[in-house]
Amino acid sequence: MALTGLEIFKLLPKTNCKKCGMPTCLAFAMQLAQKRAKLDSCPDVSEEAKNTLAAAAAPPMRKVVFGSGDHQVQIGQETVMFRHEEKFYSPTVLAATISDKLTGPDLQNRIKAINALRFERVGVRIGAGAIAVINDSGQADAFAAAAETAAQSSPFALILVSDSPQAMAAAVAKTAKFVPLIANATNDNAQEMAKIAKENKCPIVAKADSLESLCGLTEKIKSLGIEDIVLNLQTETLRDKLYNLSRMRVLSLKKVFRPLGYPTISFVAGDADQQAAAAVGLACKYSGVVALDTVEQYVFLPIATAVMNIFTDPQKPVQVEPKIYTVGEPDENSPVLFTTNFSLTYYTVESDVEASRVPSYILVVDTEGTSVLTAYSGDKLNEKIVADAMTKCNVQDLVKHRKLIIPGYVAVMSGKLEEATNWEVMVGPRESSMLPKYLKEVWK
């Protein structure tokens, strides 16, 4: 938790020496509290004060990075419980598991299936972000071999899952340059696992079956010189898991309880549908990594979309690029509709036009990401803006006719728009859901 100016003042030398450039130590403390000054400016500050201030300045939930290069992923550093309070920073990393019992073509096929868990959505790549190799075999050699193959044949960040320090050492020896996430350190093997993590500069997962024991474990790992820790709380039920994840989030963010100030990882089990359901819950409610034991695309697509949606910045309206979009394969006789570049508006219109099965052009007008009515009342949508957008997109060259379908909510701009464009304005429905009927019956 950030310290107040007065709390900082108590830690300063109180000499009012002015060497920092401020008239008094109190003034300097106030500047520090507002992050307008750096502690380095004070030549006489004690080591103790430096440490206290550095600890207080650390984020309540640590950021942990694993994977290398383009495959690197980041979890943690969250600041709020609810996305509307600010935003969620690090989208949940989805992982697919792979057993080290698989060899040869089976191993390759599983990796291939995992590599196909990538989708493109509004120009953004979503899907799996990590591949979790599980030491089911209990053998160090098999684990190391599977880990190496996975690291080399998959574009995803690597998670190594074994409770055996021998197996972990063997696998990390083959994959250290990929910066794998080492899972799991437990109360029994913490010393050895921490050594592997430290020597290879990898983050580590702390696994325990109660919050109390988890806290003890993270403190122990920290004392061994490792700060990049991910929490794995084992619970009997999904209910316990979700309740505890919420509790851990409150403890780290609201109470700044350092032993739990790390991101989390969860493994889900069950049939594919159950895993999908659990994963959506875990992604929304505070698991930094969710590892699934399935490689079904129909499972990953909705979960990845949920992560994308929940982790969007609520302060920024999501916009689509203002341009001409086509639905189906429109020709010179197809209808032209316009709407705004607020993504929600556009996607609703797009999906309804698609449902009509009438090939169409949708002109997206730049209204700074506002909806039709908001844009109109804020003068971000008027006849001039629409006419300019039509010219810019060369709408006149796309179709032979000169008819423009406008949103029913801005019927009032018809006259001026006709004057500005010399196109015939057709007033569409107010509700986008009536577009299929409109396109089929009114537009012909």
Partner 1 sequence: MPVPEVLESFAGSVNRITLGSTKDTGGSRTSTITVGGARNVVYAGSAEDAGEKPVIAIDIMDVPPEDWPDILIEPYKDVIKNPADWAKKAVNEFGADLICVKFDGIHPDKANKDAAAAVKVTEDVLKAVGVPLILWGCGNNEKDNQIIPKISEAAKGQNCLLGAAEQDNYKSITAVALADGHNLITEAPLDINIGKQVNILVSDMGFPLEKIVTFQDTGALGYGIEYSYSIQERQRLAALAGDKMMAMPAICDVGYEAWRVKEARLADAPGWGNVEDRGPMWEAATAICLLQAGADIIRMRHPRAVAAVKNFINQIWKRVSA
The site for partner 1 (CB under 8 A) is made up of 81-84, 116, 119, 121, 211-213, 215-216, 219, 237-239, 242-243, 245-247, 250-251, 254-255, 257, 259-260, 272-274, 276-278, 280-281, 284-285, 296-299, 301-303, 305-306, 308-310, 312, 314, 344, 347-348, 351-352, 354-355, 431, 434, 436-437
Q: Tell me the closest approach of the beta carbon of residue 25 to partner 1, in angstroms.
A: 33
User: Can you tell me the distance from the alpha carbon of 153 to that of 159, in angstroms, rounded to the nearest whole number?
Assistant: 14
DSSP state, residue 117: -
41 or 343, CB closer to partner 1? 343
Work out how close the CB of 110 gets to partner 1 at its nearest, in angstroms, rounded to a whole number. Answer: 16
Give the position of tokens 């895993």. 275
Tell me the C-alpha distance between 345 and 369, whole Å: 9
CA distances from 156 to 120, 136, 159, 197, 294 (A): 16, 20, 9, 20, 16
Interacting residues of 51 by C-beta distance below 8 A, sequence separation 6+: none
Provide, rounded to whole angstroms, the least separation between the CB of residue 280 and partner 1: 4
Q: Which residues contact 67 (CB under 8 A, 6 or more apart)?
A: 73, 129, 130, 156, 157, 158, 178, 179, 180, 181
Shortest distance (Å) from residue 89 CB to partner 1: 15
Nearer to partner 1, 152 or 274 (CB): 274
Nearer to partner 1, 298 or 378 (CB): 298
Rounded Cα distance between 44 and 273, Å, is 62
**For partner 1, the closer CB: 219 or 227:** 219
What residues have CB less than 8 Å from 197, skipping those under 6 apart? Answer: 182, 185, 203, 204, 226
Pick 69 or 302: Cβ nearer partner 1: 302
For residues 92 and 149, which CB has a smaller minimum distance to partner 1 in the complex? 92
Alpha carbons 423 and 345: distance in angstroms, whole number: 24
Report angle CA 224, 90, 51 to the nearest 5 degrees: 40
Q: Which is nearer to partner 1, 88 or 423 (CB)?
A: 88
Least distance CB 118 / partner 1 (angstroms): 8
- Could you tell me how far CA 117 lies from the centroid of its own chain? 16
Specify whether the CB–CB gap between 255 and 88 falls below 8 A: no
Residue 260: CA count within 13 A, CB half-sphere = 24
Please tell me whether residue 208 adopts helix, strand or coil conformation.
Answer: strand
Smaller CB separation from partner 1, 195 or 222: 222
Closer Cβ to partner 1, 49 or 119, answer by number = 119
DSSP 136-166: TT--HHHHHHHHHHHHHH-SSEEEEE-S-HH
Least distance (Å) between residue 189 CB and partner 1:
19
Q: Measured from the CB of residue 352, what is the shortest distance to partner 1 in angstroms? A: 8
Q: What single letter denotes the amino acid at residue 192?
A: E
For partner 1, which is the closer residue by CB, 15 or 223? 223
On whether the CB atoms of residues 214 and 233 are closer than 8 A, the answer is: yes
Nearer to partner 1 by C-beta: 65 or 250?
Answer: 250
Residue type, 266: S
Answer whether 364's CB lies under 8 Å from 339's CB: yes
Work out how close the CB of 155 gets to partner 1 at its nearest, in angstroms, rounded to a whole number: 15
Q: Minimum Å distance from CB 244 to partner 1? A: 9
Q: How far is the CB of 254 from partner 1 (least distance, A)?
A: 7
Q: How far apart are CA 208 and CA 438, in angstroms?
A: 60
